[in-house]
């Protein structure tokens, strides 16, 4: 984090206020834009030309919900770094933001055609249904589990109707619908190029001591007093206390904001919304965070189909 070494507390506070303002202004932009694609837009064309437009509509709905999830996590992140400051939750909020944003980018990518978009949407739906089925089995809900299994069969029928092949492993077990769902880590790496950040934040979410000690804790200011309070049997290691540095806040802000903006840029392109208006909102925010004036465009990296 060498580029963040000169960040002060005042710098971090300004970044937090800037990030919060972005959340509010983007919310107003989305409200003004409405929910429907503009006539003649790529999204409108896909809806009118694809043989099963309802499946395209579902893909757009998935992307929209994922953007809402990312926005919610962005605001949650701001609140965790507002007094009383949390030291672990900020990292997990940004991790969740990265995950939902990556999925939204993957589904709303304007560089893919309607068939690819629907294929990704079906794969994502299959993954969700599999998780529902597992919950049903663990909870002993046999009727609910059967309903979910039937929905998976219906999903596969829809994929077959569109000409998508059955997705099986070497043993003939169904492992996807329309395509096998890539891992979220591969999607994050492919569409956001943020695998390192995601893995680091995942280590915090999974409570690995090495990550927590580096990111969410710091050496206690008075080692001798605290060691005495802990008692002689506590060992001779360094005493740690919770802490979040201005450097950490800056790092998280500068990671969260561009990632949050990427699916918004995709949706603007797809739906034919006023991208220049979005740039006018975003430009000052990115400059305030020391990132740059441009709305992030589509990333060239791609996860495995």
pLDDT digit string, tens, across residues 113-160: 999 999 999 999 999 999 999 999 999 999 999 999 999 999 999 999
Query: Which tokens hold the place of 111?
Result: 């560089």
At residue 101, the pLDDT reads 98
Question: What tokens were used for 164?
Answer: 């998508």
E strand or H helix at 174: strand 174-176
- What is the β-pairing status of strands 240-242 and 217-219? antiparallel
Other beta carbons less than 10 A from residue 225's beta carbon: 11
Q: Indicate the DSSP class of residue 110.
A: T
Confidence of residue 300 (pLDDT cuts 50, 70, 90): very low
pLDDT confidence of residue 1: 47
DSSP letter at 179?
B
How many Å apart are CA 58 and CA 226, to the nearest integer?
56
User: pTM of the predicted model, to two decimals?
Assistant: 0.89
In angstroms, the CA 74 to CA 101 distance is 11
28 belongs to a structural domain: yes
Contact by Cβ (8 Å): 133, 145: yes
Instruction: Using CB atoms within 10 Å of the CB of residue 279, give its burial: 0 to 12 exposed, 13 to 18 middle, 19+ buried.
Output: middle
With b meaning 16 or more CB within 10 Å and e meaning fewer, what string describes 20-34? bebbebbeebbeebe
Instruction: Look at residue 298 and tell me if it is in a domain.
Output: no
pLDDT at 52 over 90: yes
Phi, psi angle pair for 177, to nearest 5°: -130, 125
Type and span of the H or E element at 176: strand 174-176
Mean per-residue pLDDT for 211-219? 89
With respect to residue 301, please indicate whether it lies within any of the assigned structural domains. Answer: no
Q: Containing domain of residue 103, as a range?
A: 2-225+239-288
Q: What is the pLDDT of residues 158-168, one digit of tens each?
A: 999 999 999 99
Residue 298 has pLDDT above 50, yes or no: no
Residues facing residue 242 across a β-bridge = 217
**Rounded distance between C-alpha atoms, residue 133 and residue 145, angstroms:** 5
DSSP letters for 203-223: HHHTT-HHHHHHHTEEE-S-H
Report how far residue 94's alpha carbon sits from residue 82's, in angstroms, rounded to the nearest whole number: 15
The whole-angstrom separation of Cα 65 and Cα 285 is 24
Q: Rounded distance, CA 9 to CA 12, Å?
A: 5
Contact 244, 87 (CB under 8 A): yes
pLDDT (tens digit, 9 = 90+) per residue, 282-295? 998 998 898 865 44
Distance CA(171)–CA(123), nearest Å, equals: 19
State how many domains the chain has: 1
21 is a domain residue: yes
Judge residue 43's burial from the number of C-beta atoms within 10 Å of its C-beta, 0-12 exposed, 13-18 middle, 19 or more buried. Answer: buried
Residue 169 lies in a domain: yes
Radius of gyration from C-alpha coordinates of the chain: 22
- How many CB atoms within 10 Å of residue 181? 22
For 64-112, the pLDDT digits (tens) are: 999 999 999 999 999 999 999 999 999 999 999 999 999 999 999 999 9
Q: What rounded mean pLDDT belongs to the chain?
A: 89
Q: Of residues 30 and 225, which shows the higher confidence score?
A: 30
Which tokens in the block code for residue 114? 């309607």
């Amino acid at each position: 984090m060498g580029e963040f070494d000169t960040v002060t507390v005042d710098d971090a506070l300004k970044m937090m206020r800037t990030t919060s303002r972005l959340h509010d202004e983007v919310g107003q932009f989305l409200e003004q834009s409405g929910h429907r694609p503009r006539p003649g837009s790529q999204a409108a064309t896909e809806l009118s030309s694809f043989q099963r437009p309802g499946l395209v509509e579902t893909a757009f709905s998935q992307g929209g919900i994922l953007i809402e999830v990312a926005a919610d996590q962005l605001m949650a992140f701001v609140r965790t770094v507002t007094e009383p400051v949390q030291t672990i939750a900020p990292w997990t909020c940004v991790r969740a933001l990265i995950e939902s944003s990556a999925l939204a980018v993957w589904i709303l990518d304007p560089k893919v055609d309607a068939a690819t978009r629907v294929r990704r949407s079906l794969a994502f739906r299959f993954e969700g249904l599999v998780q529902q089925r597992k919950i049903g089995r663990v909870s002993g809900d046999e009727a609910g589990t059967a309903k979910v299994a039937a929905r998976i069969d219906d999903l596969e029928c829809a994929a077959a109707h569109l000409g998508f092949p059955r997705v099986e492993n070497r043993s003939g077990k169904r492992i996807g619908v329309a395509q096998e769902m890539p891992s979220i880590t591969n999607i994050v790496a492919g569409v956001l190029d943020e695998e390192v950040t995601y893995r680091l934040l995942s280590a915090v979410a999974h409570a690995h001591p090495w990550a927590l000690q580096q990111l969410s804790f710091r050496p206690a200011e008075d080692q001798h007093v605290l060691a005495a309070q802990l008692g002689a049997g506590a060992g001779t290691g360094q005493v740690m206390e919770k802490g979040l540095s201005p450097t950490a806040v800056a790092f998280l802000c500068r990671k969260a904001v561009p990632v949050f903006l990427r699916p918004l840029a995709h949706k603007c392109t797809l739906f034919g919304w006023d991208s220049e208006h979005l740039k006018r909102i975003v430009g000052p925010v990115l400059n305030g965070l020391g990132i740059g004036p441009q709305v992030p465009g589509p990333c060239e990296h791609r996860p495995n189909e």
